Amino acid sequence: MQDKFNELKSILAEVHDLNRASSVLGWDQNTYMPRGGAEARGNQLGTLGKISHQMFTAEKVGKLLDELKDAFPSESDEAAMIRVTRRDYDKATLVPSEFVVEQAQVTTAAHEGWMEARQKSDFSIFEPHLAKVLDLTKRYIEFFPKADHPYDTLFDNFEPGMKTAEVQAIFAELRKKQVRLLQAIAEKKQVDDSFLHKKYPEAKQKVFGEKVITAFGFNPNVNRQDKAPHPFCTSFGINDVRITTRYNEKFLNTAIFGSMHETGHALYDGGFHPSMERTPLANGASLGVHESQSRMWENLVGRSFAFWEHFYPELQKTFPTQLGNVKLGAFYKGINKVEPSLIRVEADEATYNMHIMLRLEIEIAMVEGSVALKDLPALWNSKMKEYLGVTPPNDALGVLQDIHWSFGGIGYFSTYSLGNLISAQLWEKINSEITDLSDQIRNGKFDALLGWLRANVHVHGCKYEPQELVQKVTGSKIDPAPYLRYLETKFSDIYGL
């Protein structure tokens, strides 16, 4: 059976190479590709996607999977690879190769349309592209057996094994308690964050941000950071993981915390066991688990008081005019200010999940066909008013702010909130085992934290489904309680609740 396993592994390695080559093209499209290259890039991605899809869905692969079904112990990496491949194969064989090509071409054009629409703050430019993306999405759902809800088919691509109803139940509990917390905070005196909105030159932000992520474990030998309209992380292999960030010279938080966030993704992608390279296991357990890593480094580490005890003197030295007279305590409160805002990626921890709940409801309405695309800006604005009490002044700060619909990522957004919940569960477990973690962070030491994550989360790749992994590591499935405890403790201290 080992020969058959090696044969399967060889085929999957070549499929993996093609998919990573597509990732290189996608990275280039977001960073350096001239705008005029969009049509050619769409064709290139379509061709690679078609070849990859045909290789992966070949009858030979299905036959090998059948023959290897019970060939290895259930807990072995070999058995896990066969399980994951079987799941992906069964889904991929339901989707025609021609659809894969069309999807690549449509989403490449949609991305360019989104960038132009966002730049001009005009949703009507993106609307026809989104119509094509949504049509593809609905056609994709039709390829699969009927689910409890059509959105389940999409959600399963990002959170294997989880259902829309599960997430809605988690969100219902979360919403109720977070609204109470936000109401309590609103009754208190607001903290001052005016010093974050001064002039912060991009070049200096870049130098400071690179010092921070290097301390986290971002390694120039295997990692790279560039600029893009929307921050993202992409992997071409365990030893080539890249991130992007964006800078706002009028708001300090954007690049610093954006880089921390994407570094969390990069550390995960670089932490899979080397034996998983060029196999289907060289992926995160789910996007929710992936987001738990990025949100942990961004928030639980990067927005902690202990972190800034170490890094704030360096930041003051970098920006003496802006921060020289701002005390550490005031800075800490400022970067953690709770205030309903327009932009998801810049939202504070207490309001962030409300942005996600809004998007989930809108996406479900899009899939169900209960909202016309031309009405999305108005719907978005009304829900922002309902959920957060603010109304976007234009499309760029509203319905066009996120990149996800342009690349067909309908079903993605919930993973951000799930990541918040998982990060807090992991954090409680980590602190019970690394009892001096706060002191280590206070001293700018992150080796033990990264080592724990490597050993308990990263090394498994996608060997386990998300709920299974969280249960294995923390002792329970995804649970909002640790995250709510974290929020209440942190903001009670900041706002004197």
The string of pLDDT tens digits covering residues 214-257 is 999 999 999 999 999 889 999 999 999 999 999 999 999 999 99
What per-residue confidence (pLDDT) applies to 319?
98
What per-residue confidence (pLDDT) applies to 230?
83
Q: Are residues 137 and 236 in the same domain?
A: no
Residue that finishes a domain, picked among 113, 146, 179:
146
Q: Are residues 352 and 427 in the same domain?
A: yes
What per-residue confidence (pLDDT) applies to 69?
92
What per-residue confidence (pLDDT) applies to 107?
95
Q: Among residues 78, 166, 262, 298, which one is catalytic?
A: 262
Let me know if residue 152 belongs to a domain: no
Q: Are residues 141 and 214 in the same domain?
A: no
Let me know if residue 297 belongs to a domain: yes
Let me know if residue 394 belongs to a domain: yes
Q: Are residues 170 and 210 in the same domain?
A: yes
Q: Which of 239, 268, 219 is nearest to 422 (CA)?
A: 268
Please give the distance of CA 148 from its chain centroid, rounded to a whole number. Answer: 25
Let me know if residue 159 belongs to a domain: no
What per-residue confidence (pLDDT) applies to 34?
93
Q: Are residues 183 and 99 in the same domain?
A: no
Which residues sit opposite 242 in a β-bridge?
224, 234
Q: Are residues 172 and 57 in the same domain?
A: no
Q: Are residues 122 and 171 in the same domain?
A: no
Q: Which of 49, 58, 46 is nearest to 11 (CA)?
A: 58
Q: Are residues 191 and 90 in the same domain?
A: no
Residue that finishes a domain, picked among 146, 176, 209:
146
Let me know if residue 154 belongs to a domain: no
Q: Which of 61, 57, 52, 59 is nearest to 25 (CA)?
A: 52
What per-residue confidence (pLDDT) applies to 346?
86
Q: Are residues 97 and 221 in the same domain?
A: no
Host domain of residue 85: 2-146
- Name the domain count of the chain: 2
* 262 in active site: yes
Q: Are residues 418 and 380 in the same domain?
A: yes
CA distance between the termini of the chain: 63
Let me know if residue 153 belongs to a domain: no
What per-residue confidence (pLDDT) applies to 162?
86
What per-residue confidence (pLDDT) applies to 27?
95
Contacts of 489 (CB under 8 A, 6+ apart): none
In the chain, which residues have pLDDT < 50? none
Q: Are residues 142 and 196 in the same domain?
A: no
